[in-house]
Structure 1
Amino acid sequence: MYQSNIYEYLENLTEHQLLICKDDKEAIQIRDIANLLGFESYVLPDIRVSAGEDLRTYDEEIYRLFITLAAYHQSQNKKVLISPYRTLLIPFPKPEYFGKHTIEFGDTLDLAALKDKLYHWGYHFTDITASAGEVSFRGDIIDIFPIDAEQPYRIGLFDEEVETIQHFDEATQKRILPKEGEDELDHVTFPPTFLALDKAQYDSLKSRVAQSNYDTFVKDIDSLGLWHLDELGESALAQFNSVLTSNLAAELDEIYELDAPMIPRESFMLPVVPESKRYRDLEVADPNKLLESHQDKKITILAKNESIVRGSDLASFEGIEFVYQEGIVNLMSADRLILSLNKPVKRKKVKKATIILDELKQGDYVVHENHGIGIFKGIEKRDVLGAVSEFVVIHYQNEDSLLIPVSNLEVIDRFVADSGTLPVLDRLGKTSFKKLKGKVREKLFAIASQIINLSAQRHLKKGIVLKTNLEEHTIFMAKAGFIHTEDQERAIYEMLDDLSSGRMMDRLLSADVGFGKTEVAMNGMYVAVKNGYQAMMIAPTTLLSAQHFKSLKERFKDEEIRVAKLDRFSTAKQKREVLVGLEDGSIDIVVGTHALLGAKFKNLALVVIDEEHKFGVKQKEALKEISIDVHLLSMSATPIPRSLNMAMSQVKTFSEILTPPVERQGVRTFVKSYDEKVIKEAILRELRRGGQVFYVFNSIAAIEDKKKELLDILPTLRIAVLHSKISAKETEDEMMKFEDGEYDLLLSTSIVESGIHMPHANTMIVDGADNFGIADLHQLRGRVGRGSKEGYAYFIVSDKDRLTEQAKRRLLALESHSDLGSGAVLAFHDLEIRGGGNIIGEAQSGHIKQIGYSLYLRMLEDAIKELSGQDKEVSQHVDMKLNVDAYLNEELIEEDRLRLELYRRLSLCETTGEVYEISSEIEDRFGKLDRVTKQFIDVIVMKVLARQQGISKVSSYGENVFIEFIEEGKDRVVLKSPSKDDDDIIATAMGYLK
């Protein structure tokens, strides 16, 4: 497609038109020209979907399609619509079904009618509004997240009258107050998330979808609505006056060969934009030269803003017209010259993780720090001695139950067992759990003291000072070939500060695979070599070391830095050469596996260890020896728990990269019933675009049969089979072959998890997905979509009608959240807990199994604190037994899980400031606090104050309030309250504690 053709065509265009192009990139080029010519341009997203496919996976694009079409129809100005041809294969709604609804300050709402309208307009009713298209009604608060809004809105009501309209932050759920000088919001306008339908239209569409022949996991309007519009829609080509921007015959042939779209091929027999007679496209290397030789023409310069013009060293010529807008257009004719100074725009898109719900669901296993493992049964209200409060109920062996006051929830944790093993319930009143805890504590002290001693040895030594030449370094960073994310930059500069500080660096860098850990490490190596030292990088497998070697060679090729590799594929001669080179200093950087451990260096300054937890015990010892007097950077692909992070901060410094790289795309996720057609289509779809497939099948016994099955479907498929019974060496060789493209499909158990970067494998099929936890599925899905290609994940279930509700919800959450959204936060949380096990090493996993990760980590944290002399009172409990009504009222917060989450967060508060912050958040999210809720907040405040003062128990009986101390021999204090009333008792106790 030539910009010159489009420019001349649009210059003469007098009517509204739909311009059809090949893809996203072309659409942007056409938009730039239309904007320059004064058109309002509306660009539709490139939606590559086959007829009948589940559209839930394409949520974001479908929303953009609807928002853009609605805006186009409403505009009265000179306008064009631009669309990639694939998008036009979807039926388009008729213009009259795009609507808007406005709620203004002071309106009186008919809540029942509003709920009906939102339901028929496709909004999802939830208890927390966190994603576009969701709404929640809570007493006198309505939260709504319109699909065309940057942020959700919170509408506060007084009875049914609108009293306030404000934005809130979907991640923290807190209101955002207007900044100084900004006006309060006086209205909110929202479009439908699907179409503006009334009840009859909605019901009719719903019944058509229910009878659909298309196979999706759930048949509803979200997944199949667009394929069954009937009288509500028609083809885009029938709706608009259309023209092709270039000849698309070849592209259309391919589509109609593979797919049978709903729009007939003949509809695309359309006129094509003619070739330009006046203009030609330009490649611009030096704008000044062009300006000089074409001074006689009318010159237009396109730039985003004045700074770009000032920074571009343009020579000043007479009569240049400057147009300040985005876009790139470079054209010339006999009397015109159009030049752009803009650079292509990089899209930055980072999903925020929503509130982490430590979701305890009924039936989950929990571990109580004194009584061991039980089953969580929910929250119950009990009346004890005339005062009402809420308790968490836990069942142990023989149906014995334990009631825990909600103000003491910090004594329990979710029990996360080692990948899916079922725990054994403990018996109440038996001392076996106490003994087990004692044993684990001894072990933990040994581990903690080892960590601390090692760190002390490093701290005593003086570090090698590595200075950074900032100017040189900025140039090195610019040569990375991509724009660093903020997190990457922060990690790099934190590391450079460590290296120049004169102390020994011991930094842990945690980031998902493909988020750029290696780039951070390479910046450190660069500085080491520039200061005349050597650096080494060591990885647990040959495959990983080969991948790192490739990256390092590529990155350092212009820097006169000599990089070598040492692993089991190196010949004896190569090994000798590398070892000699390291000793005499002729090699600057070496990458390898544990084959490197015996090497002698001339002047080593930096050791980078990738996935340290995967090395064996002996290798770890050798690593400690090597790295005792050099700077150390350890990298891990599993997130590290925040709590452990805090405890270890005395020992290690810490960086995290949470932002995905700019060009990385999400992973489209489909949940499907097992069907050979689906499997065949998924595999072919990937092979057609030159890629490879991961097929996860978690049964070693039946894996060979599965291979035969796949060969029956596609006889020419080249399949590699891997599982844990195959030796490490063979596994690695097969993986190398897969990476080199000798296989099309890797059939394996779930061992294809962390650490491998396979840019060509972008489709993942998980067979029997209902047997995996959400964390495992999210982790597996993260293996694909790593390059700039979009990834596809198919979660296959054997019989969707026999799935439990929970499994269904889990799979749907993954399907609609292809990024780290709320569905994956839970996964992240599980992973985070596991990441803690990694830091400490595998040898302890036996104990972790018995007491669960979270309690294990808490005990480790205490041990590290105690040994490094941080807190004397590591964690001490205060027993609050005041005879007052105190709980979070369910009339205020209806959902059990939300109350539970707040109870849990309140019980973990360490300062009164934190308590009051959560209290104002509750008021913000749920409305004014009532008496019992306020009293519960007071009880938690007293608990925090009591802990700070060494008090073990605060209780009351009648008008007496008793205060007891931890310190032995200290007398208990008895206070007299003016009456037995709740507020008097609370005032008396609070007065003493404050």
Structure 2
Amino acid sequence: MNSLFEFFKEKNDCKLLIVSDDKEAQEAFDVLSYNQKKPFVLADFRANFGDDLLSFSEELQNITKTLNEFYSYKKENKVLVVPLRTASYKMPVEKCFDSFKIEFASTIDLDKLKDKLYNWGYYFVDIVTSEGEVSLRGDILDICPLGASKGFRVSLFDDEVESIREFDIEDQKSAKEEIDSFSITPAFLALNEDEIDRINEELESVESDAFIKDIHSLGFWYLDDLGEYLPSKFNSYITYNALDELDEAYIFESKRIDKEKFLTLPKIPKAKKYQIINPANVKEFLTFHDGKKHTIISTTEAKVKSFDLDLADKKIKYIFEPYIINLVSDDEVIISLNKEIKKKRKKKIKLVLDELLVNDFVVHEQHGIGQYKGIEPVVVMGAKRDFVIVAYANEDKLLIPVENIDLIDRYVADGSSYAVVDTLGKGSFAKLKDKVKDRLFAIANDIIKLAAARELVNGIKINCDKKILKDFSTSAGFDYTKDQKRSINELFDDLSSGKVMDRLLSGDVGFGKTEVAMNALLAVILDGHQALFVCPTTLLASQHFHSMKKRFDEYGIRMAQLDGKTTAKEKTYVKKALESGDIDLVVGTHSLLDIKTKDLALVIIDEEHKFGVKQKEKLKELREDVHIFSMSATPIPRTLNLALSKLKGMSSLLTPPTERLGVRTYVKEFEEKLIKEIVLREKRRGGQLFYVHNNIASMEAKKADIQEILPNIKIEMIHSKITQVKAEKLIEDFNDGKFDILLATSIVESGLHLPNANSMIIDGADRFGIADLHQLRGRVGRGHKEGFCYFIVEDKKKITSDAIKRLLALESNSYLGSGTALAHQDLEIRGGGNIIGEAQSGHIKQIGYGLYLKMLEDTLAILSGESKEESQVVDIKLAISAFISNDYIVEDRVRLELYRRLGKAKSKEAIYEIEEEMEDRFGKPDIPTKQFLELIMIKVLALQKEIKTVSSYEMNVTFTKNDDIKETIKSPSKDDDDIIATTLKYLRK
């Protein structure tokens, strides 16, 4: 940074600065901005020539957006900052960038606009959920140009722009205020018809393993005369750090600018005047350098005050910007009070588009498990209505009116179980539910009794207000996330409250749960007590022991390890030392279940869902007032979270650490050459691989196949049929680098932290659920290296278009946020199942996680004294045509999502809110859709009046109450609108 600062302080005429990577690019951005230059930073584009670019879509969007801004900025002070790998490829020429405006009251030729947006690289989707997407629905156009945080919704009257409003891509709601105009820039490049045709023609003859050969996945590589090497075009300089990266960037040299070209570029000279500083005490540091020019950079005035600096001090120049520059010279000191800005998290889409596919299994609350066969219109009593079709055993079908769609839910059990369809009308499912209910009452009763008993006991009071604890968090070597800070505060509140703590922390793998736990361990041990850290496997125990030893060394904490690998002699010593108080902390496995301690205050259970209820109780029995802190990697559903939070504390980590890199995902068709390249590429960077093959029977054959392609590679297999001891030994050997590939079933999807295994191949990826793929992918890219995940399919011609869509969704990471939102939904449900423990998996398999948790929540609520009334169903048999019509909303998935949300609506307000949103997103509802919304209103009002059926015959409308009392009223005619108006009038009185 000091050399860059010195160089640009001289106001030279550099137009292109080549740096090593993203981090150095950020430093250059700060230095250039400080020196009155206008920097434009391109993404670090680390693809190799010919790679499928869908998994680099974020970088490509950044390149398009930044180059567009750079070329349209007309002042002389601009500088393009380009990481070395990006500078080595041809970038689009200036004529590839353009923009156009859509203005209020202007006219639009829709066909021409569609062609233009397609040529400019926009994706046409059902619902716009990220940049570079467009959706056309009748007379409504939604679009989100690159760089826009919100989308734009254009309402047309014929071909005239009637209104333009911004809308939130998270919940699809648009702002009330209209705007006059907005600009559309290319999502890929501003290409014309001929250029697109030329690139497409070239792509047809290209040999590539890209899953879909189109302009989005490969177009960038075939720009030809539309591309140019930037160092050849601009007055360029290169940093020494970038030169050091040259060899690594050129591992794969195909189609790159000549390496020698970079060596001939002028270098940024080494700094002579400025030195980098890192002052611990800013105020004190400034006094040491009195007499020099002082500059303080901060984002806010409040931050300046927090450093005890005087804003009125005329000797200090204050700059309020986000720059991070800390330098000193003979006559100047520049200090930044800012911390590194964390990467923005991609917002989770609030609308989960229902990915319920035909033939998926669903659970009906009364009839059990069936197969969803879609939504079909059926004419009943001369009126057309939509029904959900669910198939049961013996080819029986159940037709569910869409207004009661809330009675079915997706069937989710664990990854390996396959649903068994129930028989309609036998009553066996009702018996099964009763059996599960009895079992649930027993479980819930135990949970509540235990919580009540612990509530009566006084807990060990821990003093958590020590300076040493605050220092511990700053010595972590990274900034805690907001969630980590909150969880630590919740933990300290519990420990110091004088009550017995029972808290569960849920958070994705690698989100820093162990760091939170270490704060609690330190607080307890510094207060003079002992603690245990219990893990399900020897490998995990060993990993945790070493990382804690490193962090706790300076505090003089006496630690030991106790697990399957501990020798008999060591075991005896550790047990005696625990009993005498000579050891403060033991990290171990199940071996810790039967020990005695002198002054135990805290037990931490890692991967708590891997322990049975009895084992957890045994740990609590070690001492009746011991604090319990459990950690789990699966998220807990919000509702169950609330039900359980009355009985135990709940904390969650939802934000990933800043240094965590994403996982590049590719979808490929199986080819021996490809497997060989993937394995050798990972080996070249000193790493190992997971190969997921989810069929134990054909695993040996798969191992032989891989061995044939790669004879010198060492492979081991792991699956559920091998013993726990052997599995742990295998994982340990893999962790120690004794072999290259771990061939496994989906057993590897949780609980492993192997930072050196950063590539994963998933065989038959089309046969996995979206949640399983999402979870498996999380196994790699957990250290500081980028992870690669390859979804392999046997033959792309034989898989469904939905499976292709789902895989490409995960590949580009952006497709309808619902892809990942849905994966989280599945994981949440499983997380809830995990809380109850493995023993319940039999019941869960029979009725599915969703219904099981719903029943558990109800049971807990009843036993906690919050009696929950049985959910009522209204049978509506009105002779009216009511459905969300295909003309109004074309996409089945979107209609299904709205049916689902309306089916769950419990109040008038909720219906009005959805109706308003529908009008906003799709325009005014047509007659059948409007009548369906009124039908839902009838359902809600009837529920409130305890009416169980509403039916009509000719002009008569009949209401039957729960006590079977009937009342019939007359409608002015048998027209749909009269019957609806009469029914609503009666229900509203």
Say if 2:775 is the partner of 1:784.
no
CA distance in 1, matches of 2:292, 2:848: 76
Partner of 1:139: 138
Deviation at 1:262, TM superposition (A): 3.5
Contact 1:368 1:413 in 2 (8 A): yes
Partner of 1:32: 30
Partner of 2:519: 523
Partner of 2:741: 745
CA distance in 2, matches of 1:586, 1:982: 83
CA distance in 2, matches of 1:293, 1:857: 64
Contact 1:351 1:819 in 2 (8 A): no
Partner of 1:151: 150
Say if 2:117 is the partner of 1:121.
no
Give CA deviations for 1:541-594 in whole Å, capped at 9, x if unaligned.
Answer: 111222222333333334444433321222333323332333334433332211
CA distance in 1, matches of 2:521, 2:183: 54
Letter of the structure 2 residue corresponding to residue 195 of structure 1? L
CA distance in 1, matches of 2:567, 2:589: 14
Residues 682 and 556 from structure 1, CA distance in 2 versus in 1: closer, same or farther, beyond 3 angstroms? same
| Equivalent residue for 2:209, pick from 204, 215, 225 | 215
Deviation at 1:114, TM superposition (A): 1.4
Aligned ranges for residues 233-248 of structure 1 at < 5 Å? 233-246=227-240
CA distance in 1, matches of 2:30, 2:206: 41
TM-score using structure 2 length = 0.92
Letter of the structure 2 residue corresponding to residue 345 of structure 1? E
Aligned ranges for residues 494-509 of structure 1 at < 5 Å? 494-509=490-505
Deviation at 1:693, TM superposition (A): 2.1
Partner of 1:181: none
Calculate the aligned-residue CA RMSD, in Å.
3.1
Deviation at 1:136, TM superposition (A): 0.6
Deviation at 1:813, TM superposition (A): 1.1
Contact 2:18 2:242 in 1 (8 A): no
Partner of 1:964: 960
Deviation at 1:246, TM superposition (A): 2.9
Say if 2:383 is the partner of 1:387.
yes
Contact 1:244 1:270 in 2 (8 A): no
Deviation at 1:449, TM superposition (A): 2.9
Deviation at 1:826, TM superposition (A): 2.4
Partner of 1:411: 407
Say if 2:339 is the partner of 1:339.
no
| Equivalent residue for 1:916, pick from 898, 912, 915 | 912
Partner of 1:42: 40
CA distance in 1, matches of 2:557, 2:343: 32
Residues 169 and 471 from structure 1, CA distance in 2 versus in 1: closer, same or farther, beyond 3 angstroms? farther
Aligned ranges for residues 147-546 of structure 1 at < 5 Å? 147-177=146-176, 184-246=178-240, 251-256=245-250, 258-273=252-267, 275=269, 279-283=273-277, 285=279, 302-304=297-299, 306-307=301-302, 309-312=304-307, 321-329=317-325, 336-354=331-349, 355-469=351-465, 473-546=469-542
Deviation at 1:860, TM superposition (A): 3.0
CA distance in 1, matches of 2:333, 2:924: 60
Say if 2:758 is the partner of 1:762.
yes
CA distance in 1, matches of 2:959, 2:136: 43
Deviation at 1:980, TM superposition (A): 4.0
Aligned ranges for residues 699-718 of structure 1 at < 5 Å? 699-718=695-714
Secondary structure of 2:43's aligned partner:
coil
Deviation at 1:376, TM superposition (A): 1.8
Residues 712 and 834 from structure 1, CA distance in 2 versus in 1: closer, same or farther, beyond 3 angstroms? same
Deviation at 1:299, TM superposition (A): 5.9
Say if 2:597 is the partner of 1:601.
yes
Partner of 2:687: 691
Contact 2:942 2:987 in 1 (8 A): yes
CA distance in 2, matches of 1:424, 1:478: 53
Contact 1:352 1:820 in 2 (8 A): no
Give 5+ residue unaligned stretches, structure 1: 179-183
Residues 910 and 267 from structure 1, CA distance in 2 versus in 1: closer, same or farther, beyond 3 angstroms? same
Letter of the structure 1 residue corresponding to residue 758 of structure 2? N
Contact 1:765 1:795 in 2 (8 A): yes
Secondary structure of 2:628's aligned partner:
strand
Secondary structure of 1:648's aligned partner:
helix
CA distance in 2, matches of 1:538, 1:608: 6
Give CA deviations for 1:330-356 in whole Å, capped at 9, x if unaligned.
Answer: 56667x535232445232321222222
Letter of the structure 2 residue corresponding to residue 928 of structure 1? K
TM-score using structure 1 length = 0.92
CA distance in 2, matches of 1:8, 1:837: 60
CA distance in 2, matches of 1:712, 1:883: 68
Give CA deviations for 1:730-755 in whole Å, capped at 9, x if unaligned.
Answer: 22122223223333332322221211
Secondary structure of 1:557's aligned partner:
helix
Secondary structure of 2:240's aligned partner:
coil
Number of residue-to-residue matches in the alignment:
984
Contact 2:665 2:810 in 1 (8 A): yes
Partner of 2:878: 882
Deviation at 1:307, TM superposition (A): 4.8
| Equivalent residue for 1:842, pick from 838, 844, 849 | 838
CA distance in 1, matches of 2:592, 2:195: 70
202-211 or 876-885, which deviates more: 876-885
Secondary structure of 1:664's aligned partner:
coil
Say if 2:21 is the partner of 1:23.
yes
Letter of the structure 2 residue corresponding to residue 109 of structure 1? I
Secondary structure of 2:564's aligned partner:
coil
Secondary structure of 2:898's aligned partner:
helix
Residues 233 and 797 from structure 1, CA distance in 2 versus in 1: closer, same or farther, beyond 3 angstroms? same
Secondary structure of 2:748's aligned partner:
coil
CA distance in 2, matches of 1:616, 1:247: 53
Give CA deviations for 1:475-524 in whole Å, capped at 9, x if unaligned.
Answer: 44333332222222232333333344454433322211111222222333
Partner of 1:109: 108
Secondary structure of 2:675's aligned partner:
helix
Residues 748 and 360 from structure 1, CA distance in 2 versus in 1: closer, same or farther, beyond 3 angstroms? closer
Deviation at 1:53, TM superposition (A): 0.8
| Equivalent residue for 1:665, pick from 657, 661, 668 | 661
Contact 1:962 1:972 in 2 (8 A): yes
CA distance in 1, matches of 2:624, 2:902: 42
| Equivalent residue for 2:671, pick from 664, 675, 693 | 675
Contact 1:667 1:819 in 2 (8 A): no
Contact 2:507 2:513 in 1 (8 A): yes
Deviation at 1:812, TM superposition (A): 1.0
Letter of the structure 1 residue corresponding to residue 223 of structure 2? L
| Equivalent residue for 2:626, pick from 630, 646, 649 | 630
CA distance in 1, matches of 2:418, 2:541: 36
Deviation at 1:133, TM superposition (A): 1.0
Deviation at 1:69, TM superposition (A): 1.2
CA distance in 2, matches of 1:359, 1:271: 53
Contact 2:377 2:387 in 1 (8 A): yes
CA distance in 1, matches of 2:944, 2:572: 63
Residues 317 and 632 from structure 1, CA distance in 2 versus in 1: closer, same or farther, beyond 3 angstroms? closer
Deviation at 1:100, TM superposition (A): 1.0
Contact 1:107 1:162 in 2 (8 A): yes
Contact 2:297 2:338 in 1 (8 A): no
Say if 2:767 is the partner of 1:771.
yes
Contact 2:507 2:653 in 1 (8 A): yes
Residues 503 and 311 from structure 1, CA distance in 2 versus in 1: closer, same or farther, beyond 3 angstroms? closer
Deviation at 1:207, TM superposition (A): 1.6
Letter of the structure 1 residue corresponding to residue 520 of structure 2? G
CA distance in 1, matches of 2:488, 2:284: 40
CA distance in 2, matches of 1:293, 1:718: 60
CA distance in 1, matches of 2:145, 2:54: 17
Aligned ranges for residues 786-935 of structure 1 at < 5 Å? 786-817=782-813, 821-935=817-931
